[in-house]
Amino acid sequence: MSDDKPHSSNGSSRKSLWSKIIQIFTGEPKSKEQLVEVLNDAEDRDLIKPETKQMIEGVLEVSDMRVRDIMIPRSQMITLDINDPLEKSLPIIVDSGHSRFPVINEDIDNIEGILLAKDLLAYAFNQQQEECTIAKIIRPSIKVPESKKVEPLLKEFRSNRYHMAVVVDEYGGVSGVVTIEDILELIVGEIEDETDEEIEEDIKYLAANVYQVKSLTELDDFNDFFNSHFDEDEADTIAGILLHQFGHMPKKGEEITINNFSFKVTAADNRRIQTLHVTIPKNHLVNNKSND
């Protein structure tokens, strides 16, 4: 039998990919662009999954970022006042669904510490006899400058076992907060848990001519539902249309009107729009209508 049996294309692909990786790490020049090229080639050859490529690209992206690029800005912070009775703070804690809260002293630039919601449990079940006040159970807050690199911050989060830091500007004023989850989401994508607000449907009827819409609703589904004609070559989702029109990442509460449809951002962070309220023109007919 002849030994001239052709090698499998998959084996050749892996060998070629490995050669490129060796070249990157032993040769010149070394650059992230070269690494991205290898990742793209590996994905095209089905050697790595798109999710794996996305995670590696997330790691590369994080290495260039500073805290100010990912922080939750002060305008979107949910805080508690150390001077308020616990009865006043509890509705804020419950409604937000968060597990950690910066505790201020009247002014957001005066942060006294961080409240962990779980620290209230001992008092709720009468394991502590003394009266519970926020001041008694808050933990120290960690402050980091806006200019700090994200990568070393992630290492500090892990080694020091804290999950939230207060971000300050060059004058010592509070710019926002950053959590370990904010960093991890850059790498692995959005992390949702059972406390996150759920919308079972992408498009949900609210009242009159107002609908609640997930920002990642496919544009063709949006057009089909609302009998609208947004350009599907311009974006894949309704969020893409809004970002193009806004020209920036909108904050919660910002509004815009496009083709007689009014859009209000009802949930967003500094990286993505999450949910919208869409007000359709009067007498405009839609294909579906849920009254749930």
148-159 pLDDT per residue, tens = 999 899 999 989
123 and 161 fall within a common domain:
yes
Instruction: Give the range among 76-80, 166-170, 205-209, 246-250 with minimum mean pLDDT.
Output: 205-209
Confidence (pLDDT) at 1: 47
Portion of the chain with pLDDT greater than 70, in percent: 80
232 and 173 fall within a common domain:
no
85 token code pair? 């009775």
Instruction: Please say whether the dihedral angle defined by the alpha carbons of residues 191, 195, 196 and 201, taken in this order, is positive or negative.
Output: positive
Q: What is the largest CA-CA distance in the chain?
A: 88
Residue 16 predicted with pLDDT over 70: no
Residue 160 lies in a domain: yes
124 and 182 fall within a common domain:
yes
Indicate the average pLDDT of the chain. Answer: 81
98 and 179 fall within a common domain:
yes
173 and 271 fall within a common domain:
no
Residue 64 predicted with pLDDT over 70: yes
Work out the burial of residue 242: count CB atoms within 10 Å of its CB; fewer than 13 is exposed, 13-18 middle, 19 or more buried.
buried
Rounded Cα gap, residues 195 and 5, in angstroms: 58
Residue 1 lies in a domain: no
Residue among 258, 205, 187 at smallest CA distance from 239? 258
Residue 18 predicted with pLDDT over 70: no
**Spatial contact of 5 and 12, defined as CB atoms under 8 Å apart:** no
**Spatial contact of 230 and 240, defined as CB atoms under 8 Å apart:** no
Q: How confident is residue 60, by pLDDT bands cut at 50, 70 and 90? A: confident
Rounded Cα gap, residues 277 and 156, in angstroms: 39
Confidence (pLDDT) at 29: 35
73 and 108 fall within a common domain:
yes
Q: How confident is residue 37, by pLDDT bands cut at 50, 70 and 90? A: confident
Which among 69-73, 241-245, 282-286 has the top mean pLDDT? 241-245
Peptide linkage before 29 cis (omega within 30 of 0): yes
Instruction: Give the range among 69-73, 129-133, 193-197 with minimum mean pLDDT.
Output: 193-197
**End-to-end CA distance of the chain, in Å?**
72
Radius of gyration for the alpha carbons in the chain, expressed in angstroms and rounded: 25
Which among 24-33, 69-78, 242-251 has the top mean pLDDT? 242-251
Pairing type for strands 255-258 and 210-214 reads unpaired
Residue 98 lies in a domain: yes
137 and 34 fall within a common domain:
no
Residue 11 predicted with pLDDT over 60: no
97 and 176 fall within a common domain:
yes
Confidence (pLDDT) at 269: 76
How does pLDDT run across 266-284, given as a tens digit for each residue? 888 777 898 999 999 887 8
Rounded Cα gap, residues 178 and 67, in angstroms: 7
169 and 95 fall within a common domain:
yes
Confidence (pLDDT) at 191: 57
What is the span of the domain harbouring residue 103? 69-188
CATH number at residue 184: 3.10.580.10
88 and 26 fall within a common domain:
no
Instruction: Give the range among 17-31, 46-60, 99-113, 118-132 with minimum mean pLDDT.
Output: 17-31
80 and 151 fall within a common domain:
yes
Residue 63 lies in a domain: no
Confidence (pLDDT) at 288: 61
Residue 5 predicted with pLDDT over 50: no
CATH number at residue 233: 3.30.465.10
Q: How confident is residue 2, by pLDDT bands cut at 50, 70 and 90? A: very low
Among 159, 188, 217, residue at a domain's last position: 188
Residue 215 lies in a domain: yes
Residue among 185, 187, 212 at smallest CA distance from 200? 212
Q: pLDDT higher for 167 or 195?
A: 167
58 token code pair? 């997330």
Among 188, 214, 249, residue at a domain's last position: 188
Among 119, 154, 188, residue at a domain's last position: 188
Q: What 3-state DSSP class applies to 98?
A: coil
Confidence (pLDDT) at 291: 38
Q: Indicate the number of domains in the chain.
A: 3
177 and 127 fall within a common domain:
yes
Residue 28 predicted with pLDDT over 50: no
Rounded Cα gap, residues 117 and 114, in angstroms: 10
Specify the long-range contacts of residues 170-176, CB closer than 8 Å, at least 24 apart: 170/145, 170/146, 172/109, 173/109, 174/74, 174/77, 174/108, 174/109, 174/111, 175/68, 175/71, 175/73, 175/74, 175/146, 176/71, 176/72, 176/73, 176/74, 176/76, 176/77
Confidence (pLDDT) at 221: 92
Residue among 141, 140, 133 at smallest CA distance from 88? 133
Residue among 155, 172, 183 at smallest CA distance from 71? 183
Residue 288 lies in a domain: no
